[in-house]
Structure 1
C-alpha cells in the first residue's frame, strides 16, 4: 500500500474514531487497528498522536477546500455560489464523520484545533468569501455585504443543515436540500 493510500486509510479511521469517541479517548492503537496498519506505521509516518491528528486535519480540510474550489472554478459568481453549496453538501454527505469532527473539535481554542480553525477559515470558508467577493464586484450581490461574515454564515449554515440532513432525514434528496438553501440565500443576499 502506498503512502497516499495509507494516509487515506488513517484519515478515515481517525476521523471515524474521533467522531465516535472524541479526541482524548481515541488512541493511536485504535486508529492503527481500524486502518489495518501496524502501530509502528503510524509513528513512522507521523511521529506522535498529536502530529497524526494535525496532519490528518490538514489533509481533510485541504480535501474539503479543493472540492469547494473545483465546484466554483470557471463559474459565474451566483452559479459558483450554488455549486459551492452543492459541493459542501455532497462532501459532508460522503464524509459525515469529518464534518462532525469539525463541529465538535475544530473550534476549540489552542494548539492544533486553533490551527485547524484557521485552515478552515483560510481554505474552505475562503472559497466562499472569494465567490461572494466576485459576486459583489459583478453587481450581483449588494455592495455593502460583509463577505467575510457572509462566507462564514453560508459555510456554517450548510454544514449544520447537512449534518441535520444526514442524521435525521437521510432519505431526503440532496438536490431538494440544496434548492431550499439557495432560496434562502437568494432572499437574503441578492440586491
Structure 2
C-alpha cells in the first residue's frame, strides 16, 4: 500500500519498512474507523488506534510514521475494499450498474465511519489528504464510468446529455445518498436508495 502526507499524491513506502499483512491493515482499519466515528480524526491518536487494534504502537509508528500517513493509507485500504465490492461480473449492463450502486451502499452501511470520512474529506477544501483522495476518487469514478458506458453502448441514450455528466451524477448521488442514509435517514431501505440513484440512469435512456 502506498503512502501520502500533507495532501501530496501517494508515494511508495520506504524499502526499509516491511510489508504489512492484510490482517494487520484490516485490524487497524476497523479500529480507526470505530474511533474516528466516535470522535472524528482530529481527536484520535495513533496510540489509541494501535491499542484498539491490538497492534504494537511501535509497529504502527515504524510502518506509518505519523497519524497523517496512517489515515492516508487506511483511506486507501478502505477504497480497495470498496473497489472489490463495486466491480460486478459482466451481464445485463443496467442490472450490473444497479449492483455496483447497491454494493457501494452496502459498504457504507458496513463502514459508516469510513463513508463519513471519505465523503467529508473528498469534498472539503483544503483537506490534509487532498492528493491521496483525488487519486482514490478517480479510481472509484472509473468503476462507475465503465458501468455507465456499458449501459450507453447497450441501449439508446439521450444524445444531448454528456455521458461524463451522467457518471458524475450517479457517482455523487450514490455517495451522498449513502451518507445521508447513515446519518439522517436510517429508516430508508437499501432498495429505496438504489432506486433513487437508478432514476438518474433511467432518465438518461431514450424512450422508444
Which TM class, normalised by the smaller chain length?
A: 0.7 to 0.9
Structure-2 change in CA distance of 1:140 and 1:93 (3 Å): farther
What is the TM-score when the length of structure 2 is the normalising length? 0.78
Match of 1:45 among 53, 63, 68: 63
Query: Which consecutive unaligned segments of at least 5 residues does structure 2 have?
Result: 1-19
How far apart are the structure 2 equivalents of 1:185 and 1:159? 14
Listed one character per residue, the Cα deviations across residues 50-92 of structure 1 (whole Å, up to 9, x for unaligned) are 22122111111111122111x2x21222111111111111111
State the number of aligned residues.
186
Listed one character per residue, the Cα deviations across residues 104-137 of structure 1 (whole Å, up to 9, x for unaligned) are 22334365333213212x2111111111122222
RCO (CA 8 Å, sep 6+): is it higher in 1 or 2? 2
1:7 corresponds in structure 2 to 25
How far apart are the structure 2 equivalents of 1:164 and 1:111? 23
Query: Which consecutive unaligned segments of at least 5 residues does structure 1 have?
Result: none
On the 8 A contact 2:121/2:127 being kept in 1, the answer is no
Q: Does 1:21 align with 2:36?
A: no
Q: Does 1:86 align with 2:102?
A: yes
How far apart are the structure 1 equivalents of 2:189 and 2:129? 35
Structure-2 change in CA distance of 1:113 and 1:14 (3 Å): farther
2:126 corresponds in structure 1 to 109
On the 8 A contact 1:136/1:143 being kept in 2, the answer is no
How far apart are the structure 2 equivalents of 1:164 and 1:112? 22
Match of 1:152 among 165, 168, 174: 168
On the 8 A contact 2:101/2:194 being kept in 1, the answer is yes
On the 8 A contact 1:46/1:52 being kept in 2, the answer is yes
2:80 corresponds in structure 1 to 62
Matched ranges for 1:127-142 at <5 A: 127-142=143-158
